Chain A
Amino acid sequence: MTLRRTSGRVAANVLVWGYAGIILLPTLWVLSNAFKYKIDIITGATLSPVTWSNFEQLLFSRQSQFLWNLLNSAFVAVSSTAIVIVIATMAAFTLGRLRVPGWVRWPILGWALLFQMLPTLTFVGSWYVMWSAIGLHGTYVSVILTHVVHNLPMGLFLMLSFMFALPHEIFQAARMDGCSNSQMFWRVAFPLVRGGMIAATALIFIFSWSDFAIALTLTSPATMTAPVAIATFAQEYDIRYGEMAAGTLLSIVPALILILVGQRFIVRGLLAGAVK
C-alpha cells in the first residue's frame, strides 16, 4: 500500500470518527444527565451518584403526563406514516411505471421537491390558521394530516427510487402475462418494493415522531406529543434538565428500534435474480 493511500485512509477515519464524536458526545452527555441529580447537572459533574428520580418524576408524578405524550406521539406517527406509505407507494408506481402524461407527472414531482425544500416553519402559521378556521385545531386529525402533507414528498421520492430500481422488463412481462394495472401493482410491484417500503416507513416514522414545529403549533395539552412535552420542562423560573434528559432517552428508544429493523431491508437483496 502506498503512503498516499495510507494517509488517505487515516484522513477518512479521522473525519468519520470526528463526525461521530460531534453527534454522539452531546447525545451521551444528555443521556447521562437522565441519571444525575439536578445539582450535579448544574455543576457539570462528569462522575456523580446514579439516580432514577428523574424517570420517577417524569412517568409517575402528578404534574407530568409524559406517558400520555408518548402514546400521542406513537398514535400520530403510526397513523401519519401509514397514510404516507400507502399513498407514496401507489403514487410512485403510477408516476414511475405507468404511462402518465408529462404535464401531470412533472408538476407533481416538481411541486413535491419545492415543498420539500422550503422550511417547515414557513407553513406552520398558515396551517394553524386553516385548522383553527375549521375548528379542528388541537385535534389528532390536524396533526396527523399535517404530518402526512409534510412527509409525503419525502415518501414519494423514496418510493420512486425503489420503484425505478425495478427492471422495466418485469412490468412488460407482466403486461404480456395479462396483468391489469392494479394486478401489476399488487402482484409484481408491491412484493418487490416491500423491502423499500419498510425502509421508507422507518424514515418517515422517525420524521413524524421527532417533529417539533408542527406539533408545537397544532396540538393542545390533550394531544401533545413527546418532543413538545420535553420542551415544556424548560419553564420561566425552572429548567428541569433531569426530566428533559430522561424524556429524551425514552423518546429515542422507538426510533432506535425502527432504525435497527429498517436497516436490514435493502431492496437489492430481494431483487437478486430478477434480471441477468
Chain B
Amino acid sequence: MATVTLKGVRKKYGRVEVIPPIDLEVPSGEFIALVGPSGSGKSTLLRIIAGLEEIDAGRIFVDGKDVTQTEPSDRDMAMVFQSYALYPHMTVAENMIFALRMRGTDPTEIARRLEAALKMLGMSEYANRRPGQLSGGQRQRVAMGRAIVRQPQVFLFDEPLSNLDAKLRAATRLELRALHDQLGATSVFVTHDQIEAMTMADRIVLLDGGRIQQIGTPREIYREPQNRFVASFIGSPEINMLRGMLASAAGRLTFEGLPLSESLQAAAGREVDLGIRPEHIRVWPDAAPDRWPFEVDAVEFTGHDAFLVGKTPAGRVTLRIDPDNDRGLADSVVAGQQLHVQLQERHILLFNPDTGVRITNG
C-alpha cells in the first residue's frame, strides 16, 4: 500500500511536449484508471511512474519518498504490459519468479509465493509450460502472476485486457478488480476503453493531449463532466451535442424553438453547445409544445437496447429506447417515420461553444 504522487511532472520528446506539467495523487489502495484517446499520453504517464521514461521536470513520490531518480526495479512497483512481455525462453514458473531471483529472495520464500500465485490464478498445472504453449488468456494470467509474486506496493497495468476477446475481457475485468481488493495494493490502470475504466476504477483520470481533463469517480465523470471533451469521450453511444442559441424572450427561455425551464437561465442569451445523452431523450408519437419533431433515419437494435438516429430542428441526435418499456415502439418504428422527442431537462448539460467548458448555474 502506498500513495503515488506526481508533482509538476513534464515530458518532452525532442520539441514535442507530450505531458505538460501535471499533478496527480493516487491515494493508497486506490484503483485509478488513466483513460484517453490514443496519443493522449496515458501510457507515457504510466511508464513515467514506472521509471521506464525519464522526465524533463517534476518529482515523483511513493509514500512521500522521492523516487524520481530511482531505478524501475527499486520503486517497488510491478507492471503488466499490454503485450504481456513474457520471456519466451522461460517456463511459466520461471517467468513469475524471475524478479525475485534477481533480487536474491530466499528460495523457500520464492517457492511459497509462486505456489500461492499459481493457485490464486488457477495456473498450477501450467507451471512448466512455456508462453508459446499457452492461450492468450493464460498468458495474460502469467503476466499478472509475475506482478503478484513481487508483492509490490503499486501495480501498473498498461492496457492488459486489450488483447483478449470480448467475453474473456469481461470476466477478467471482474477478476482483476477482485484481485486488487484482495491484495490491497495501489493500482494504476491505463485503458482507452471507457467501459473498463467505468466498471473497474475507483476514480478515473481523463487525459487528452497530455492534460488532465477531469479526475473523478465514474459517476461524477459521467454525470458532471467538466467540459465537452469529457462529456463526449465517456458514454456509448456518444452524448448528443447540439449547437444553438439559448434565447430569452418575454421571460421564457427557448433553445431552437424548444421551451426550457428557468433552471438554465445562467446561459440565457448566448450561443451554447447543448449536451444530452441518448437515454435522456424521450420519444413520443404526438406533437406537443415541449417536443421537437424527429424524423427517424436509422434504427439500431442491440438486444437490450434500441437506438434511433434521426433529425431534429437543432441537429442530428441519437436516442435510446428501452424495448421492454416502450409500448412496442422498438419493434414498429421504421426509418423515415415522423416522431417527436422531448429532452429530460434536468439532464441537459450546457457548454461554452468556444472553450468547451461547462456552463453551470452556480
Q: Contacts A173-B81, A175-B73 hold; do A273 and B86 have CB atoms under 8 A apart?
A: yes
A274–B82 Cα distance when bound, in Å, is: 12
- Interface-located stretch among B97-105, B227-235, B325-333: B97-105
Q: A174 CB to closest chain B CB, in angstroms?
A: 8
Interface residue ranges of A11-31 to B (CB < 8 Å): none
Q: Does A275 contact B (CB under 8 A)?
A: yes
Chain A: CB-nearest residue to B132: A273
Beta-carbon contacts of B117-159 to A below 8 Å, as 1s and 0s? Answer: 0000000000000111110100100000010000000000000
Interface residue ranges of A240-276 to B (CB < 8 Å): 270-276
Q: Are A173 and B79 in contact (CB under 8 A)?
A: yes
Q: Does B183 contact A (CB under 8 A)?
A: no
Q: B318 CB to closest chain A CB, in angstroms?
A: 34
Select one of B73, B74, B88 contacting A192, CB under 8 A: B88
Q: Does A176 contact B (CB under 8 A)?
A: yes
A178–B103 Cα distance when bound, in Å, is: 7
Chain A: CB-nearest residue to B129: A273
Which residues of the other chain, A, contact B103 by a CB distance below 8 angstroms?
Answer: 178
Q: Are A172 and B81 in contact (CB under 8 A)?
A: yes
Q: Does B301 contact A (CB under 8 A)?
A: no
Q: Contacts A178-B103, A273-B131, A273-B133 hold; do A173 and B85 have CB atoms under 8 A apart?
A: yes
Which residues of the other chain, B, contact A187 by a CB distance below 8 angstroms?
Answer: 98
Q: Are B88 and A276 in contact (CB under 8 A)?
A: no
Q: Are B52 and A172 in contact (CB under 8 A)?
A: yes
Q: Are A169 and B88 in contact (CB under 8 A)?
A: no
Q: Does B77 contact A (CB under 8 A)?
A: yes
Q: Are B78 and A176 in contact (CB under 8 A)?
A: yes
A209–B102 Cα distance when bound, in Å, is: 42
Q: Does A183 contact B (CB under 8 A)?
A: yes
Which residues of the other chain, A, contact B139 by a CB distance below 8 angstroms?
Answer: 273, 276
Q: Are A274 and B131 in contact (CB under 8 A)?
A: yes
Chain B: CB-nearest residue to A273: B132
A187–B101 Cα distance when bound, in Å, is: 12
Chain A: CB-nearest residue to B89: A191
Q: A139 CB to closest chain B CB, in angstroms?
A: 40
Q: Does B27 contact A (CB under 8 A)?
A: no
Q: B348 CB to closest chain A CB, in angstroms?
A: 44
Most central of B87, B99, B133, B139 by chain A CB within 10 Å: B87
Give the size of the chain B interface in residues (CB under 8 angstroms).
Answer: 32
Chain A: CB-nearest residue to B98: A177
Q: Are A176 and B73 in contact (CB under 8 A)?
A: yes
Which residues of the other chain, B, contact A174 by a CB distance below 8 angstroms?
Answer: 87
Interface residue ranges of A163-187 to B (CB < 8 Å): 167, 169-170, 172-179, 183, 187
A8–B87 Cα distance when bound, in Å, is: 43
Q: Are B72 and A273 in contact (CB under 8 A)?
A: no
Q: Does B350 contact A (CB under 8 A)?
A: no
Q: Does A82 contact B (CB under 8 A)?
A: no
Chain A: CB-nearest residue to B150: A177
Q: Are A175 and B52 in contact (CB under 8 A)?
A: yes
Q: A191 CB to closest chain B CB, in angstroms?
A: 4
Q: Does A188 contact B (CB under 8 A)?
A: yes
Which residues of the other chain, A, contact B87 by a CB distance below 8 angstroms?
Answer: 170, 173-174, 188, 274
Q: Does B31 contact A (CB under 8 A)?
A: no
Which residues of the other chain, A, contact B132 by a CB distance below 8 angstroms?
Answer: 272-274
Q: Contacts A175-B72, A270-B89 hold; do A276 and B102 have CB atoms under 8 A apart?
A: no
Q: Are B89 and A169 in contact (CB under 8 A)?
A: no
Q: Are A176 and B99 in contact (CB under 8 A)?
A: yes
Q: Does B50 contact A (CB under 8 A)?
A: yes
Q: B76 CB to closest chain A CB, in angstroms?
A: 11
Jot down 22 A-B pairs with beta carbons below 8 A, ordered by A. Answer: A169-B85, A170-B86, A172-B47, A172-B79, A175-B71, A176-B52, A176-B77, A176-B79, A177-B98, A178-B73, A179-B102, A187-B98, A192-B89, A270-B89, A271-B88, A272-B88, A273-B86, A273-B88, A274-B131, A274-B132, A275-B83, A275-B86
Chain B residues near A (Cβ < 8 Å):
47, 50, 52, 71-74, 77-79, 81-89, 98-99, 102-103, 130-134, 136, 139, 146, 163
